[in-house]
A and B are shown apart, each in its own frame.
Chain A
Amino acid sequence: MISLPLVFTTAASSAISTGFTLGYRPLLDPIAVDDYWLVLLLPLVFAISLVYKTIKLDDLTHLPRQAIYLAGQIVAFMVLTASALWLMGMLV
């Protein structure tokens, strides 16, 4: 099998149960990011901010700064909400 980083070896690991060996095929097979799924929310939030601000702003000169600012606001609000829910869970 082609030597690939650990994240690209889900195809091979599941193929063991079916009796053959597979290499990772980009865009066909998933990558093993189960442990990092929370980190994947950051580029998602930035992309949402970027597209929203691209549509919203008349002048795109300050687009990167505005998009980063909005992404920061969204992440901060999510952290605050998660903290509040965690606190409520601890108290109740």
Chain B
Amino acid sequence: MSEKPSEIKPQWHPHAAAAGWIVPGLGHLILGQKKRGIILCVSILSLWLAGIFIGGISVIDKYDRVDSDVSSAKPTRSWWFFGQAMIAPSFVVDVMRERMAVAHAKALGYPNHANPRGLLDPVSATSASTLAPPYEPSFGRVAEQGILYTALAGMLNLLAMIDVLYCDPNARRRAVASQASDPVPAAEPIAS
């Protein structure tokens, strides 16, 4: 029996979408779509981790990297972070990175520096000759690739969250079952 549109009864699943934001694919796992959830989890998290691996931890920064020099005041917000923020662990990484930068600024004698990430820049840093920086900022193509990977991972996770937010969890199962039970009809015999 083929699937009729009237049989699909989508419902709201905000808890599944929230779970998918915290761990990509978890929303699908909660709704019983195990294989789909595992594939989404592995692929999205791999993409996100690959971005950090390529560009380093500095690619996840809620402030604009263009302003990251010692002399600048408080930098402006980065639009890329809106994409990266679609995966909750990005916030954890951003807080970790900021704490490392602030601790480094304090160790260098700038306890209240407006832009501690600027002190990590090997070009513009003036007094960073005695302490090793907690991380090295990335620039150019490497930074672009790292930001692109992490932001696209976030946007793909947004798709996955929308997929579970308003759906009928059993619709796909029924569609697959109906395809299996409705094979391609055999050709009619030629009338003699």
Query: Interface extent on B, as a size class?
Result: 35 or more
Task: Report A's interface with B, CB cutoff 8 A.
Answer: 10-11, 14-15, 17-20, 22, 25-34, 37, 40, 43-44, 47-48, 50-52, 54-55, 58-60, 63
Q: Which of A20, A37, A55 contacts B141 (CB 8 A)?
A: A37
Q: Which of B47, B132, B138, B144 contacts A22 (CB 8 A)?
A: B132
The residues of A that contact B143 with a CB separation of less than 8 Å are 30
A54 engages B39 (CB within 8 Å): yes
B144 engages A30 (CB within 8 Å): no
B128 engages A18 (CB within 8 Å): yes
The residues of A that contact B64 with a CB separation of less than 8 Å are none
* A10, closest chain B residue (CB): B136
List B residues 81-135 near A (Cβ within 8 Å).
122-123, 125, 128-130, 132-135
Is B73 among interface residues, defined by CB-CB distance under 8 A?
A: no
A20 engages B156 (CB within 8 Å): no
Cα–Cα distance between A84 and B8 once the two chains are bound (Å)? 45
* A23, closest chain B residue (CB): B132
Q: Which of A15, A37, A50 contacts B142 (CB 8 A)?
A: A37
Cα–Cα distance between A43 and B149 once the two chains are bound (Å)? 10
* Stretch from B9-17, B52-60, B183-191 forming part of the interface with A: B52-60
Is B18 among interface residues, defined by CB-CB distance under 8 A?
A: no
The residues of B that contact A15 with a CB separation of less than 8 Å are 122, 132, 136
The residues of A that contact B129 with a CB separation of less than 8 Å are 18-20
The residues of A that contact B40 with a CB separation of less than 8 Å are 51, 54-55
B125 engages A37 (CB within 8 Å): no
- Return A80 CB to nearest CB of chain B, in Å: 21
- Return A87 CB to nearest CB of chain B, in Å: 25
* A43, closest chain B residue (CB): B50
